[in-house]
């Protein structure tokens, strides 16, 4: 999709549809809106759309009145959703080009960037494997900003990079497990890295054995598909920071649960158990283009969790790379096992700060639903950095506790630590387990089990992967100051 910035008045823009935000309680009377607003047909509620044909006094073929909710609450995140929803609405009507009007207080870089992102995100369809030629897509999108200042071209370019990388993550995450086993995921990371000029290395089984990654290898051993640890490196031309950020993403290409097998209902969604890893690959794609001032390395442990004849059993004891022994009481708590070794490896490679993202627990969905990701940290400054970045990008995350008391649950007489605790507070005990492997490195863990994919389509997003938290990770890197 081609995105352009236009400073001429909205009336002069020749396009398939001019999107005009309208708000609750505000009487928009331009662009032929008056009768619809008067009759109450258009109330300005979020995700409400009304399409007008042959509007008078406007060069556009149509005007799309798009509800933005309450004007006082309309921020960049709401605009992103409005534009994405409008693009999805217009695609259904086979409209091929559109423009959105941003004037007055909405002509800032933040809003312009969000509009470009909304257009690209709204254009994404999870139809890679559909045959036929009814692909839905908009060819061109214009951000109309008559009052805009000078730096808006950069804002559009940044928005484009972010949203394209988020879509890259969504497409990768949506690949089914038969087409994307660990080594294929590694090949996708390699291909992206080559295109973006990043260094990419894939550690295969022999190397993982040599490094002593017993926790990761224990999960992998039940599958015929071999494991891989993907490492992607970005190094700035001139580092303005001594920090080295490590991005660690769970890459379970399918999670059957292993011998502690999951119920069959809904199990198809466990192809999304690599969303954390896909987000790290997408974030590196954007980082390569936006060139932040610090070193960033992504580590993505990829395995398939299967109950094969060689699978690990409940009660097995494995030795992680850090030397700690783990009693595997439940083979379905596999994410923390592979992350334990990946976190240790990231530390070994010199990372000074760590962020991991993982579809780690059903318990976080019980706690926070599908609205907020759970955020855990061993370091207040690091937690605040990530929260700030998330807020700036409109990706909702909620801080969760990590008191020492929760550690009790992971005690076992047979090894240094067990991989599960009691039933309650499951997202927290999972995070406590990870903290043992992040050790004293400032670290944030994002449990995205409830937010990485949608079970049902929404006006602004199709069913499937959301691409969270790509934008937060990129913002974290690009805004970095020591």
Please identify every residue annotated as catalytic. 262, 336
447 touches Zn ion by CB under 5 A: no
48 touches ligand BES by CB under 6 A: no
**How many residues sit in the footprint of ligand BES (CB under 6 A)?**
16
Residue 126 interacting entry, from ligand BES, Zn ion, none, C-beta within 5 to 8 Å by type: none
CA 159 – CA 165 distance, rounded (Å)? 10
273 touches ligand BES by CB under 6 A: yes
| Contacts for 461-465: CB closer than 8 Å, 24+ residues apart | 461/84, 461/121, 462/88, 462/124, 462/125, 462/126, 463/126, 464/126, 464/170, 464/173, 464/174, 464/272, 465/126, 465/169, 465/170, 465/173, 465/174, 465/272, 465/275, 465/278
Q: Based on C-alpha coordinates, what's the Rg of the chain?
A: 23
CA atoms lying within 13 Å on the CB side of residue 390:
20
- Return the closest-CA partner of residue 59 out of 152, 153, 144, 119: 144
Pair 285, 192: CB distance under 8 Å: yes
> Residue 381: how many CB atoms within 10 A of its CB?
9
48 touches Zn ion by CB under 5 A: no
Pair 354, 434: CB distance under 8 Å: no
Nearer to ligand BES, 77 or 219 (CB): 219
Q: Residue 266 Cβ, how far from ligand BES at the closest point, in Å?
A: 8
Residue 330 interacting entry, from ligand BES, Zn ion, none, C-beta within 5 to 8 Å by type: ligand BES
449 touches ligand BES by CB under 6 A: yes
**Backbone angle region of 132, left / alpha / beta, with phi > 0 → left and psi within -120 to 50 → alpha:** left
Using CB under 6 A, which residues numbered 354 to 413 contact ligand BES?
Answer: 359-363, 365
- x/- map, 255-294, Zn ion, by CB under 5 A: x-----------------x---------------------
- x/- map, 312-351, ligand BES, by CB under 6 A: ------------------x-xxxx----------------
Residue 314 interacting entry, from ligand BES, Zn ion, none, C-beta within 5 to 8 Å by type: none
Residues 6+ away with beta carbon under 8 Å from 341: 208, 211, 213, 214, 215, 216, 229, 301, 320, 321, 437
Partners of residue 343 on adjacent β-strands: none
> Residue 265: how many CB atoms within 10 A of its CB?
7
- x/- map, 317-336, Zn ion, by CB under 5 A: ---------------x-xx-
Binding span for ligand BES by CB under 6 A among 53-61, 109-117, 229-237, 353-361: 353-361
Q: Position of tokens 């879509």?
A: 167
Applying CB under 6 A, among 78, 255, 341, 356 the residue interacting with ligand BES is: 255
Nearer to ligand BES, 360 or 386 (CB): 360
CA 136 – CA 422 distance, rounded (Å)? 47
Residue 420 interacting entry, from ligand BES, Zn ion, none, C-beta within 5 to 8 Å by type: ligand BES
> Residue 39: how many CB atoms within 10 A of its CB?
8
Q: Residue 328 Cβ, how far from ligand BES at the closest point, in Å?
A: 11
Residue 449 interacting entry, from Zn ion, ligand BES, none, C-beta within 5 to 8 Å by type: ligand BES
End-to-end CA distance of the chain: 37
Residue 428 interacting entry, from ligand BES, Zn ion, none, C-beta within 5 to 8 Å by type: none
Rounded to the nearest 5°, which phi and psi values hold at 429? Answer: -65, -35
Applying CB under 6 A, among 420, 468, 473, 474 the residue interacting with ligand BES is: 420
Which residues here bind Zn ion, judged by CB under 5 A?
A: 252, 255, 273, 332, 334-335
Which residues here bind ligand BES, judged by CB under 6 A?
A: 255, 273, 330, 332-335, 359-363, 365, 420, 426, 449
């Amino acid at each position: 999709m081609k995105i352009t910035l236009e400073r001429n008045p909205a009336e002069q823009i020749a396009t398939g549809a001019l999107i005009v935000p309208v708000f609750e309680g505000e009487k928009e009377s331009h662009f032929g809106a008056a009768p619809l607003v008067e009759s109450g047909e258009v109330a300005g509620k979020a995700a409400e759309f009304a399409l007008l044909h042959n509007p008078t006094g406007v060069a556009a073929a149509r005007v799309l009145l798009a509800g933005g909710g309450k004007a006082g609450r309309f921020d960049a995140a709401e605009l992103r959703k409005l534009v994405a929803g409008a693009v999805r609405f217009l695609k259904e009507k086979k409209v091929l080009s559109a423009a959105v009007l941003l004037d007055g207080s909405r002509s800032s870089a933040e809003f312009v960037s969000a509009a470009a992102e909304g257009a690209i995100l709204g254009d994404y369809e999870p139809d890679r494997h559909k045959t036929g030629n009814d692909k839905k897509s908009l060819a061109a999108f214009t951000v109309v900003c008559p009052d805009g200042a000078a730096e808006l071209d950069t804002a559009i370019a940044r928005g484009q990079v972010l949203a394209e990388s988020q879509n890259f993550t969504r497409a990768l995450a949506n690949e089914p497990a038969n087409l994307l086993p660990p080594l294929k995921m590694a090949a996708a990371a390699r291909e992206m890295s080559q295109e973006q000029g990043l260094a990419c290395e894939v550690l295969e089984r022999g190397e993982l054995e040599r490094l002593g990654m017993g926790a990761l290898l224990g999960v992998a051993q039940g599958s015929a598909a071999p494991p891989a640890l993907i490492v992607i490196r970005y190094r700035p031309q001139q580092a303005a920071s001594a920090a080295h950020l490590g991005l660690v993403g769970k890459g379970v290409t399918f999670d059957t649960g292993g011998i502690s097998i999951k119920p069959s209902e809904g199990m198809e969604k466990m192809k999304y158990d690599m969303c954390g890893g896909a987000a790290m690959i997408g974030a590196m794609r954007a980082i390569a283009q936006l060139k932040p001032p610090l070193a960033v390395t992504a580590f993505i442990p990829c395995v398939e969790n299967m109950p094969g004849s060689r699978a690990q059993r409940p009660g097995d004891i494995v030795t992680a790379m850090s030397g700690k022994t783990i009693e595997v009481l439940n083979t379905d708590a596999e994410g923390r096992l592979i992350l334990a070794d990946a976190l240790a490896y990231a530390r070994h490679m010199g990372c000074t700060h760590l962020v991991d993202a993982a579809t780690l627990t059903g318990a976080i969905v019980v706690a926070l639903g599908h609205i907020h990701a759970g955020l855990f940290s061993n370091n207040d400054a690091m937690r605040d950095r990530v929260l700030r970045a998330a807020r700036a990008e409109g990706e909702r995350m909620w801080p969760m506790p990590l008191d020492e008391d929760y550690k009790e649950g992971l005690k076992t007489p047979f090894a240094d630590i067990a991989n599960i605790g009691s039933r309650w507070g499951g997202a927290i005990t999972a995070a406590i387990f990870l903290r043992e492997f992040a050790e004293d490195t400032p670290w944030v863990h994002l449990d995205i089990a409830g937010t990485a994919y949608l079970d049902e389509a929404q006006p602004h997003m199709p069913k499937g992967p959301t691409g969270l938290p790509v934008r937060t990770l990129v913002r974290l890197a690009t805004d970095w100051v020591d």
